[in-house]
Amino acid sequence: MAAQPLREWKTGLFDCFEDASTCCYGFWCCPCLACTVSGRVGENSCLPLCDLCSVAVGAGCGIYILVPPVAVSLRSSIRSRYGIKGSICDDIAISCFCLTCSWCQMHREIKDLNKNRVAIINTQPLPVMMMAQPAMMMAQPPMAVIQHGVIVTS
């Protein structure tokens, strides 16, 4: 099986006018935007707060941390997961010098990918079990299975 060719990010680092609401959200509350991105890629939503804590604790100990480790690792993870061009050196540089823009770009990417999801819904009733079986074994309501294993019943 041939590997898919790598692609570019769907929006550029400074493409705030592609989705102004994301950039306004990032400008006014970057930690909130970072936590949203983290949650949407399946990580703990509070994980980006470690970047704030590591800088504060490091500065208190006289160690100045310039690279936000969570931002770099999530950016690298998103690139790897979705086949986006780039390198860890790019991720480090962007996260060090354009952190808010980096979170905004990741948010736009995830938002765009999520709007193309398809849910498969089975509305056909399950066959009725034989009466000799216990009542708990009766047919279940129809379900919808969403991509990440979330089950919605009706």
Mark whether 29 and 102 lie in a shared domain: yes
Say if residues 72 and 91 touch (Cβ distance below 8 Å). Answer: yes
Evaluate whether residue 11 is within a structural domain.
no
Mark whether 151 and 83 lie in a shared domain: no
Mark whether 47 and 108 lie in a shared domain: yes
Mark whether 32 and 88 lie in a shared domain: yes
Q: Which domain holds residue 148?
A: 118-154
pLDDT digit string, tens, across residues 72-104: 999 999 999 999 999 999 999 999 899 989 999
Could you tell me the pTM of the whole model? 0.67
Pick the more confident residue, 94 or 129: 94
Mark whether 27 and 88 lie in a shared domain: yes
Say if residues 122 and 94 touch (Cβ distance below 8 Å). Answer: no
Number of domains in the chain: 2
Mark whether 71 and 101 lie in a shared domain: yes
Single out the residue of 28, 7, 8, 24 nearest to residue 16, CA to CA. Answer: 24
Q: Which residue is it, tokens 């929006």?
A: 11
Element (H, E) at 153: strand 151-153
Q: pLDDT confidence of 148, banded at 50, 70, 90?
A: low
Evaluate whether residue 3 is within a structural domain.
no
The one-letter amino acid at 12: G
Mean pLDDT of the chain: 78
Evaluate whether residue 1 is within a structural domain.
no
Mark whether 48 and 105 lie in a shared domain: yes
Mark whether 59 and 122 lie in a shared domain: no
Element (H, E) at 145: strand 143-145
Element (H, E) at 121: strand 120-121
* Rounded (10°) CA dihedral 79, 81, 82, 87: 20
